[in-house]
Structure 1
Amino acid sequence: MAPRNASRTRGVVGHQHGAPISCVLVDQHLPVAPPQQALLQAVPSLSLAEVVVAIDYLLRPRGPRDRTRPKLTMAELDALACTPNQRCGHRLRLAASLARIGAESRMETLLRLILAAYGLDEGFELQVDLSDDRGWIGRFDLVNAAHRLIVEYDGEQHRTDARQYAKDERRISRAWKAGYQVLRFRYPEVAQNPEVAALAVAEALGVQLRTLEPGITGLLTWR
């Protein structure tokens, strides 16, 4: 059966695929390609950074306390990246090497990739639970325990939601009192001025901000 016309609607870029596709159903009515196949189809049209974003999303465990199996395991990702003769295989393998389990949002992954591009990501763990003598403080995006440094991305909801704002302020205040320096970045620093964010992290780590190596700038291209 010949492929149907590509879907067209706001926010959707449709593509045609001539080879047979095994489908799974979402909500019993929307046919979609399985995660592994969807990833392979998307790689040629995405920037390196956005491929990492997609992989981070697929690797994240779901369900209560993150106990549910992710849509893609690290073992499955490794096998997929090593598949021979696939289109854009080099980009997929590079993105797979940069992917991490634990990222909970696109902007969090992009912030982490800024650190990776400038060689500042070593020692950082994702989604770390911190406690003090009063108990649990909260979960933080990126934590470098050796340098007592927290790096957070603040979305708009952190500023516009009064309850969320107050909760964040209490959490950040307790982290400072527990001996952590907290750096908080918003969309302009991450999407428009990544060097500003990198410089702040470098200063907090007490290191010089290095010059970007040729080819690594792809991590900062996602618009």
Structure 2
Amino acid sequence: MPRPPCPLPDDLGRQFSAARAVGQGITRRRLRAKDLSSPFYGVRRYVDTESGEGDDTEYGPLSIDRQQRARVLRDAHAYAEVMPAGSFFCGRTAAVLHGAAIDHPGDLEVGVVSPGRAPRARGIRGRRIAEHLVSVRTHEGLRLASPASTWAMLCTELSVRELVALGDAMARIPRDDFGRQHPELALATLTQLHAAADAGPRPPGTGRLRAAIQKVRVGSSSPLETEYRLDAATGGLPEPELDVEIRSSNGRLLGISEVVYREFRLIVEIEGDHHRTSRSQWNRDIEKYQAYAEAGWEVVRLTSTHIRGSRPTGISIVRKALLRRGWDGAPK
């Protein structure tokens, strides 16, 4: 029976550069053992680390996004062990690392400021970027293109609709568990997104970028909400308020809702699958909707099928509710 590989020093961590290991006296032969893989040239990691992102037992888009980000984050930290000085993660890689719900192709996108030489290696897509088109920040120990410049950089491969959804995600103001807003935690401000869109000459896609920035709003908490808002505008519905605190006549907070037509006392709740699968969320929703009804609000509940289905009916449902609540049919 073959002998198991000898243990490695704990301070190397689960993934490390071969050079660092050799510097601690680890032999090249030990680095070729079957308990280690080489995700990038000059990097080693334990094989069992590669399945770590699959431990999430939930299902649905939220779980898929979390698992994808865990994989990209793990790979980015691995490549950071051998990353050339001055380089940074950009494009879809930076967007995922910032927390955006966007597909990632697998290879890490790594940028350098022009005229630097973009890295070329297995698993890496190198990019050379003009200095005026990117700013860099450190996030979770990694050098990334800033959220605003990441958003603008993706204009060459995203549609206007996708750019609006990503811009909404960048500009969203997070709330804590008590419902309090924290503007300081937003990834980017509208001012920063506008500045990135107007940064100057860039590859084709500037037209889409400038069209998208006019439609980005603060308050959408998911791509599904952005899609509803864009479709509602196309369908001629009045523009709603987003991420609104609904209060009783004496000021008591009844709930926070994503899409609100205040003039018509109409609330649109766009529900992801967690509203159905989480018992606590389900109970909170029932209590909130009861409080809304007692305060004179009507609630329209939509799911992804109403918005993305083969025959979406969400806009029609909301239009009928608005007309029932006194809307004259003219956008406001």
> The TM-score by the shorter chain falls in which range?
0.7 to 0.9
Shift of 1:154: 0.6
Comparing 130-139 and 140-149, the one that deviates more = 130-139
1:152 correspondence with 2:262: no
Tell me what 1:19 maps to.
129
Q: What displacement does 1:53 show?
A: 1.1
Q: Which amino acid aligns with 1:18?
A: R
CA distance in 2, matches of 1:18, 1:114: 36
Computing the radius of gyration from Cα coordinates, the structure with the larger value is 2
Which ranges in structure 1 are unaligned for 5 or more consecutive residues?
Answer: 9-13, 211-223
CA–CA separation in structure 1 for the residues paired with 2:318 and 2:198: 34
| Residue 172 in structure 1 maps to residue 289 in structure 2 | yes
1:43 aligns with 2:155: yes
- Equivalent-residue separation in structure 2 for 1:157 and 1:94 (angstroms): 33
**Aligned ranges 1:28-39 → 2 under 5 Å:** 28=141, 30-39=142-151
- Please name the residue that 1:220 is paired with: none
Q: Which residue of 2 aligns with 1:126?
A: 242
CA contact 1:59–1:71 (8 Å) conserved in 2? yes
Bigger relative contact order (CA 8 A; separation at least 6) = 1
What value does the CA root-mean-square deviation take over the aligned residues? 2.6
1:63-74 pair list within 5 angstroms:
64=176, 65-69=180-184, 70-74=186-190
| TM-score, length basis structure 2 | 0.55
State the identity %. Answer: 27
1:5-54 per-residue CA deviation (whole Å, 9 max, x = no partner) reads: 4774xxxxx743123665322221x3321122211221121122211111
Q: CA deviation at 1:78?
A: 2.4
Q: Secondary structure in 2 aligned to 1:36?
A: helix
Aligned to 1:80: 196
Contact 2:152 2:197 in 1 (8 A): no
Displacement after TM superposition at 1:133 (Å) = 5.1
Cα gap change, 1:23/1:79 in structure 2, threshold over 3 Å: closer, same or farther?
A: closer
The answer to whether the 8 A contact 2:194-2:213 is kept is yes
Match of 1:214 in 2: none
Cα pair 1:158 1:164 within 8 Å, conserved: yes
Q: Distance in 1 between matches of 2:201 and 2:129?
A: 16
